[in-house]
Structure 1
Amino acid sequence: MSTTTDVLIIGSGPVGLTLANLLGQQGVGVLLVEQNDELIDYPRAVGVDDEALRAMQTAAIVDKVLPHTIPDQKIFMINGDRAILSEINPTTREFGWPRRNGFVQPLVDRVLLDGLDRFPSVQVRFGAEVVDLAEETDAVVATLAGGETLRARYVVAAEGGASPTRKRLGISFEGETRPSDGIVIDVANDPIGTPHAVFGGDPTRSYATIGLPHGIRRWEFTLHEHEDASVVEDDEFIFELLAPHVPDPAALDIIRRRVYRHHARVAGRFRAGRIFLAGDAAHVMPVVGGQGWNSGIRDAFNLGWKLAAVVNGRATDALLDTYEVERMGHVAQMVAVSLSMAKEMTDHDPVAAAERDRIAANRTPEEREAQRRQAFKPQPKFEEGVVVHTPLPTFKTVPARDVPRLAGTIFPQPQATDRDGVRMLLDDATGQGWRVLTWNNDPTAFLSAEHLATLERMDARLVQVVPEAQLPWARENAAAGVTVVGDLGGDDSLQAWFDARPVGAVILRPDHVIAAECLTQELDDVLARVFRAASIA
């Protein structure tokens, strides 16, 4: 027996499930296969960021994710004497959502799985192990353990760090594995009850403790090199670990305990013909940075709209080459930051720990504020791929300012209003997908008939942003097919964004990345360049 589909996804973790939801929204035929008989029920990740929540918003599923989160979760980095080395507490909402959130991964994974019921084009099969992949001219043939074959135009391997697909393709996985393991202990009926997370850089034994939703608390301890993984089953050892942390370790309601290994690795390629690697199959990083789960969601978000565009005939296969171009550099940055944080907080050398404490004690107020704002976290910025860089304008109407060009970065998501004046997040007011957004102008007045027709085939949105005071007039006079959005004003508004930029128009990709920014009169020419960069068919 053989089954044919557009995209075969291997692995039912958060990356595969998110990708399936995004493709399902676009009517793409998806078969997701998982060798296990059910979802993994133990949590791995414990933090979700604002970029990932925006991806959940795009997938129209964020309202079901939020009940399993703790928004604005603060982190204290402390030393062996419990002195605070730094505090991480970013409370801004650049992308519309809290920048740090604790969460319970199995419950969010279940939300993602249940979300697939919305899409008749998506099928999920558990207990289906892929044992071979063979690429043909126009498809990949996957063989399951029972001999059944599956035929797909494209395959996405999202089956974890041990990825059989990556190994089968002979793709390197360079990096390092830390010499000591870690042990995770999750308990119900949180005996501490505080909402924040604590990372303890204790040179005798490093640890982390994190308050999670629904009364769950996690502890993570670094095992010494001489300690075998079997200690996870030793109650006496577990109670000894927890004794300095709670009044009575024996009274804890321990719901799971596991040993894990710290890896920091990136695959040598993210694409091999019609096969793609995503999530842990493409990169793994230490848990200290809290970015493993989120980096995988970025993979799915980046690859999802591109696969849908190619499968639906809106772009050529060349678009898919930009997935690796755009994701690999940012992933490498994130792995490096996570590894640096892990080494800093898990170093058991007393001399090195003392030097770390000395540096932390001598930070300036500005450095402490940068730590609090999480300024060390690298933001995606694409120099290549589906991005068009335009020069700063030199016209006398535009003040001369030394401002960075923002093409290739994520567009902000402030509160705005729809055409009827109802307040909501910007993406909900404009609608999802490709967007051509102009300040106070009718975008159709600057676009050729040919480009308007192409945008219509792409299901792109033409968005006219006006001050909220102008909404009644703009609503009555908007051109056909133009979405009018009201700007609320203030420091975080779209007007403030345009005031700070020498541009009047932006072209936004479906993943909210700025494909290009320009003066409004330049829009038609710049849009043509974006079409070429995106291999629009």
Structure 2
Amino acid sequence: MNQTVSPEASRAAHPVSALPAASGFDYTSQVAIVGAGPVGLTIANYLGQWGIEVLVIEKLDALINYPRAIGIDDEALRTVQSVGLVERVLPHTTPWHAMRFLTPKGRCFADIQPMTDEFGWSRRNAFIQPQVDAVLFEGLKRFANVRTLFSRDLSGFSQDDTGVTLTLTGPDGLTETVRSQYLVACDGGNSFVRRTLDIAFEGKTAPNQWIVIDIANDPLGTPNVYLCCDPLRPYVSAALPHGVRRFEFMVMPGETEEELGQPQNMRKLLSKVLPDPDRVELIRKRVYTHNARLAARFRAGRIVLAGDAAHIMPVWQGQGYNSGMRDAFNLAWKLGLVVRGISQIELLDSYEQERKSHAKAMIDLSVLAGHVLAPPKRWQGAVRDGVSWLLNYIPSVKRYFLEMRFKPMPQYTQGVLVQPDGVAAENSPVGRMFIQPTVHTEAGDSVLLDKVIGSRFAIIAWGSNPLWGLSEAQIAFWRALGTQFIQVLPDVQMQGAREVPDGVVRVGDCTGRLKEWFGRYPASIAVVRPDRFVAGLAIPQTLGRVSDGLHTALAIRTPRPAAPAR
């Protein structure tokens, strides 16, 4: 079930001779990534497809093969889609995965089963992380400009005005040096990079631990995730792909991992959830401590923190993994523009501006969910059960849980965006992720919208010519960024004879979702960033002004192009 990749396989896939080393260094790259977890691997795939030289450095001798995260959301799947690997990941997922909170007597008081797919994928999905990590790693084989080094321990680093120098200890105890323009630290919650930079990691460590037990050939077989709020010992029962069942039990005061691992105690734990606790196929058991911490800074010069190195959170909403994937999507394209010399390094400031507050919101949500599952005081559990019983009969409250409206969606109010004049941020789609419906292409294919966009900017116009409001210089600026210009038409109009401007792609709105989206706002053109967030909203007559604002927000090195004369 679990897939591992050896250092030998890594070297075969990514030969260290693929990129020349500069004089005095063992390895050179444009971007060095410390940590071959999902965040580091995703960033490496994204930069790899942009042709950027990447070196991934991992201290272990193989990818981690034990189960960790078990929930991947629609935003994370959209990120995987952006690097061309989503079709290889989907077989390792269970879509439309419901989460149900149960009272000690088994009554469901919160049933979370969001059925929305506004971003192209199921909102909640179960998965087994090592299998998806292996897909991300294998994806790096596509790029001769990406290398991976296993069994390398980062022992020191320094930075100057032109790059970062890293000192590694290799598998034979030999010292190696790396020179890179930028360093991305994806080295986990105990990040050596963050600690060396003396960046505070503020927050709390939960007072209790949890033992996680993964079992093959699922002895229950029931779908979805159940969180039982039992005051004697709260537990979680989760169905995973490929017939795997995960149980998580709270470690009570005075208990130790060694004691719980004894056969008689394991049997006692499993007897709470199985009629025959002796008849199981154990994959692995581990004890975890839940932390809720946030780095004081995400960037120090040419060094950037991402994933668990920047924030860690309890598992109860499955957002640790997904928050890291949001980091990867937000950071990768910005880093790509900076490395290619299109944007100045100041663009990287927007990464922390946009990601830090949302990471904090997801930490708070995860802590709250943990308190619902295991209230600090027993009387709070009794209040929870009584109030939840009443609220479950109020339709608006039921929808609030069913549609997962309590989950704070990312919305950026500063960074790489231009808010429309006179519109409150909370009422604007700017700073929010753009939808991804199915569209029809000129060739008659039905595809998700991102298939048309690719890993680039997009200027998407409802009905009109997306070039009309731009000067020739502004069009040249957007084309230099690789922007996809898209004209959206009602699907029935795709069959009519219509002149299409050079460089513009037409798509048919076969679901009506794009018409409905544009119909909510006094605008007909959306400027969409490579991470699918709306950077600006306009009508043809105001698109030039929005373009100028984004030229500034992107910290572009070249002078701003002149607005069109009309």
| Partner residue in 2 for 1:21 | 45
Alpha-carbon separation, structure 1, partners of 2:502 and 2:465: 10
Alpha-carbon separation, structure 2, partners of 1:432 and 1:441: 23
Offset at residue 231 of structure 1 (A): 2.6
Alpha-carbon separation, structure 2, partners of 1:502 and 1:211: 45
| Partner residue in 1 for 2:255 | 227
Alpha-carbon separation, structure 2, partners of 1:471 and 1:151: 52
Q: Does 1:202 align with 2:230?
A: yes
Q: Does 1:297 align with 2:325?
A: yes
| Partner residue in 2 for 1:398 | none
1:37 to 48, 61, 66: 61
Three-state SS of the structure 2 residue aligned to 1:483 is strand
Maintained 8 Å contact 2:97/2:125? yes
Q: Deviations over 1:459-505 (max 9, x none)?
A: 1111111111121336x511110011111143xx1011111111011
2:245 to 211, 217, 222: 217
| Partner residue in 2 for 1:117 | 141
Offset at residue 347 of structure 1 (A): 2.3
| Partner residue in 2 for 1:420 | 443
Alpha-carbon separation, structure 2, partners of 1:502 and 1:117: 45
1:310 to 330, 333, 338: 338
Alpha-carbon separation, structure 2, partners of 1:338 and 1:94: 23
Q: What stretches of structure 1 of length at least 5 have no aligned partner? A: 394-400
Maintained 8 Å contact 2:127/2:241? yes
| Partner residue in 2 for 1:396 | none
Three-state SS of the structure 1 residue aligned to 2:161 is coil
Code of the residue aligned with 1:290 in structure 2: it is G
2:105 to 64, 81, 85: 81
| Partner residue in 2 for 1:284 | 312
Maintained 8 Å contact 1:430/1:483? no
2:414 to 384, 390, 397: 384
Maintained 8 Å contact 1:418/1:430? no
Q: Does 1:347 align with 2:375?
A: yes
Maintained 8 Å contact 1:269/1:324? yes
Q: Deviations over 1:247-279 (max 9, x none)?
A: 111110011000010100000000011111110
Q: Does 1:264 align with 2:295?
A: no
- Which 4+ runs in 1 deviate beyond 6 A? none
Three-state SS of the structure 1 residue aligned to 2:433 is coil
Q: Deviations over 1:14-56 (max 9, x none)?
A: 1101111111011111000100000000111000000000011
Three-state SS of the structure 1 residue aligned to 2:467 is helix
Alpha-carbon separation, structure 2, partners of 1:362 and 1:477: 60
1:371 to 379, 389, 401: 401
Alpha-carbon separation, structure 2, partners of 1:348 and 1:249: 29
Alpha-carbon separation, structure 2, partners of 1:57 and 1:441: 28
Code of the residue aligned with 1:114 in structure 2: it is E
| Partner residue in 2 for 1:529 | 549
Offset at residue 416 of structure 1 (A): 0.8
Maintained 8 Å contact 1:78/1:200? yes
| Partner residue in 1 for 2:127 | 103
Q: Does 1:452 align with 2:480?
A: no
Code of the residue aligned with 2:420 in structure 1: it is T
Code of the residue aligned with 2:464 in structure 1: it is N
Alpha-carbon separation, structure 1, partners of 2:459 and 2:223: 41
Maintained 8 Å contact 2:71/2:125? yes
Offset at residue 348 of structure 1 (A): 6.0
Maintained 8 Å contact 2:34/2:56? yes
1:485 to 495, 507, 511: 507
1:512 to 498, 523, 532: 532
Superposition RMSD in Å: 1.4
> 1:248–1:362: structure 2 CA closer, same or farther, 3 Å change rule?
same
Three-state SS of the structure 1 residue aligned to 2:239 is strand
> 1:489–1:288: structure 2 CA closer, same or farther, 3 Å change rule?
closer
| Partner residue in 2 for 1:185 | 213
Alpha-carbon separation, structure 2, partners of 1:433 and 1:12: 25
Equivalent residues in 2 for 1:431-446, closer than 5 Å: 431-446=454-469
Maintained 8 Å contact 2:313/2:367? yes
Maintained 8 Å contact 1:204/1:348? no
Alpha-carbon separation, structure 1, partners of 2:390 and 2:69: 32
Alpha-carbon separation, structure 1, partners of 2:214 and 2:526: 46
Offset at residue 298 of structure 1 (A): 0.3
Alpha-carbon separation, structure 2, partners of 1:192 and 1:323: 43
Alpha-carbon separation, structure 2, partners of 1:327 and 1:403: 17
Aligned residues: 527
Maintained 8 Å contact 2:101/2:111? yes
Q: What stretches of structure 2 of length at least 5 have no aligned partner? A: 1-24, 558-566
Alpha-carbon separation, structure 1, partners of 2:360 and 2:408: 10
Alpha-carbon separation, structure 1, partners of 2:37 and 2:73: 17
Code of the residue aligned with 1:94 in structure 2: it is E
| Partner residue in 2 for 1:397 | none
Alpha-carbon separation, structure 2, partners of 1:55 and 1:232: 38
| Partner residue in 1 for 2:282 | 254
2:168 to 127, 140, 144: 144
**TM-score normalised according to structure 2 size:** 0.91
Three-state SS of the structure 1 residue aligned to 2:412 is coil
Alpha-carbon separation, structure 2, partners of 1:344 and 1:71: 25
Alpha-carbon separation, structure 2, partners of 1:445 and 1:409: 25
**TM-score normalised according to structure 1 size:** 0.96
Alpha-carbon separation, structure 2, partners of 1:114 and 1:374: 33
Alpha-carbon separation, structure 2, partners of 1:24 and 1:276: 18
Maintained 8 Å contact 2:413/2:425? no
Alpha-carbon separation, structure 2, partners of 1:91 and 1:64: 23
Alpha-carbon separation, structure 2, partners of 1:500 and 1:489: 16
Three-state SS of the structure 2 residue aligned to 1:515 is strand
Percent same amino acid among aligned pairs?
41
| Partner residue in 2 for 1:50 | 74
| Partner residue in 2 for 1:461 | 484
Alpha-carbon separation, structure 1, partners of 2:417 and 2:145: 30
Maintained 8 Å contact 2:29/2:181? yes
Q: Does 1:128 align with 2:152?
A: yes
Alpha-carbon separation, structure 2, partners of 1:42 and 1:133: 30
Maintained 8 Å contact 1:181/1:225? no
1:274 to 282, 286, 302: 302
